[in-house]
Chain A
Amino acid sequence: MRSLQTQLSLGLLASLIALFALQWLAANFFLRSIAEQQVATRLEQDAETLLAALMPESDDRLEVQPRYIAPVYLRPFSGHYYWIITAHTRLASRSLWDRELAIAPLPSGEVRVAYLPGPQGQRLFTRIAGYHKLNRDVTIAVSEDLSAFEHSLRRFQAGYAAVSSVALAVLILTQRWILRRSVRSLERTRSQMSQLERGEIDSIDVGVPAEIAPLVQELNRLLVILRQRGKRSRDALGNLAHALKTQLALLNHATEHPQLCSHTELQNQLTEPLERIRTLTERELKRARLAGAALPGQHVDIRSELERLAYAVRTMYAEKSLDIEIRANPGARFAGDTEDFLELMGNLLDNAAKYCCMQVRVTATAPPLVIRVEDDGPGAADDDLHALTSRGARADENIPGSGLGLAIARDVVETYGGTLRLGCSDALEGFLAEATFPGIPPKS
């Protein structure tokens, strides 16, 4: 799609050129026709004077009485000529010297106007008319050289074209300036869109030109709907999980009944599927509750959330007196949902806290956002790492304990298009989990 600005500029340029060309042609046409009309009137008068001055000579030939001839017709090549055709003679003005005008006789009453080549190569504006005098047919052609007029006409044309070009340029520039100004408000909307994507704002300003205001309003409305829908389905899933788990707790409790304890096999037949249902519920419902990057307008202050989490984990493992170190710049942000972020980091931190001796380190660097969780525990063997990292490992195949937590952490990271790498920590010589988020490329 070509930009609006280019489209508008090209359209305007084309229509302005057409307009100026039309004006130029029209001005030319009218100027010329006015001039020709005026000259034609004069020529007609001259022709009538000549007609009146035509007198029969003694030999019965018609001759123009010299005293009626205007001086311009006498001066050679003056630009004013006449040419009279009678039945027997051709009478030429003195100004023609001895050149001729190529004219055919016209029947009486007819008038023709034409441009004829003149004695010095000029174009002569000529009025030819047929008359009837003294029972004889007379054709009188009167010409005037319009070079001077045409010369001024060309100067006018050049001037007009120059003025038009300047006007065209000024108009195009003005239009571009106006367009830039109105596009600037779109520019603001565009930058707000990327802010929205990065989660810095949660709706777009509606102070935009009327043409795109409905678009922005619609977008804002969709955002609200999306957010509500997300919340509704989250709440529904939360309620479902709540109900399911309470019932599972009851079943679990029932399996611990003393009468069942003596029937170990029967008890196992109950506890194993129950445990599987528990892991499945836990993982699949959590996965379904992940908001992901689908909801714009959210961001998490990494440091403060990590500190809250660290407090929770320290309390959970109070007997260990954990040393949890958080290395994140204040203000570092995770573009996404708080619950998702806590789910990811909670599982990673819990895992680290469970296996560490006492030291856990969380490092967040950006951009791209990379969060590393390291501990000083025994780490994991290569085989286990491989099993843990294998993609697509489903909840029911996972080893209970750390496996489920890491699987959920992976689900979160993948929901955001990131990757979770598991390995060994160089610094603390224990387990390392590293989540990398490609993030939204910064837009200028």
Chain B
Amino acid sequence: MRLLLVEDDSSLGPALKRALEQAGFAVDLSSDGPDAEALGEIEPYDAVVLDLGLPGRDGMSVLRHWRAHGRRMPVLILTARSAWQEKVEGFQAGADDYLAKPFHTEELLARLQAIVRRVHGRAEPVLRIGGICLDESRQVVHTEDGTEHALTGIEFRLLRYLMTHPGQVLSKARLAEHIYDFDDERDSNVIEVYIKRLRQKIGAELIVTRRGQGYVFERKDRQI
């Protein structure tokens, strides 16, 4: 999952970025309004954590701009402004959730996962498709026979993206876009290596290669 973190505080921004990366997100950090607005318009983010008090352009206007330009990614407003007036305005502007500072990182992650799930029409905190089960909080996967496999950061991101888009053909470029952040070197050939490792853990038949097109996560039995 690729995530845009917009936070202008020079200490909180990087700290949050690390925490979110540990939770398995590819995170781009932006610390001013116009920059964030441009990134959100160009890059295919799966979620945004948006501060409201930003230099250059305030978060509310940035959000309105995205929504006005058809950018529908889930946005969580993370702000020190806790007045209901601002909450109401935030939701009117198109926010999916609103979290007031100070906050606990766990709560932020839980809310973030909830809005991402909501977009994909799921209510459960655990992804269950094709007989396997991905535990997002622990970043482990359970296979059909009940064995638990630990996943590395990239493996987890890749599998989560595949599992949230079952039955769709996902090109290597698209996969790379969603598992790496802006600053990472995007080598789509490495994707093949990770796919191979995932197949070893969850079984080869779940991830099907479409030659010249990409990969499909097979939903051979439907979502439970």
Chain A interface residues (CB < 8 Å from chain B) = 238, 241-246, 248-254, 256, 274, 278, 282, 286, 289, 308-309, 311-312, 315-316, 318-319, 338-339, 342-343, 345-347
Contacts and interface: CB of A to CB of B under 8 A. Distances in A.
A346 B84 contact: yes
Contacts of B95: 315
Nearest to B18: A253
Interface in B59-109: 80-85, 87-88, 90-92, 95-98, 100-106
Given A248-B101, A311-B92, 6 more contacts: A249-B101, A256-B104, A311-B88, A312-B88, A315-B91, A343-B83
B44 to A, nearest CB: 23
B27 to A, nearest CB: 15
A312 B96 CA distance: 9
B114 interface: yes
Nearest to A311: B91
A177 to B, nearest CB: 52
Given A249-B102, A256-B105, A315-B95, A241 B82 contact: yes
A306 to B, nearest CB: 10
A309 B80 contact: no
Contacts of B15: 250, 253-254
A346 B92 contact: no
Contact of B100 (A244, A245, A289, A311): A245
A253 B100 contact: no
Interface of B: 9, 11-12, 15-16, 19, 53, 80-85, 87-88, 90-92, 95-98, 100-106, 114, 118, 123
B218 to A, nearest CB: 28
A277 to B, nearest CB: 9
B205 to A, nearest CB: 33
A312 B101 contact: no
17 contacts: A238-B81, A238-B83, A242-B81, A244-B80, A249-B12, A249-B101, A250-B12, A251-B102, A252-B102, A252-B103, A253-B15, A278-B102, A312-B88, A312-B90, A315-B96, A339-B85, A347-B84
Q: Which of B16, B87, B90, B102 has the most CB atoms of chain A within a 10 A radius of its CB?
A: B102
Given A249-B12, A253-B12, A315-B91, A274 B81 contact: no
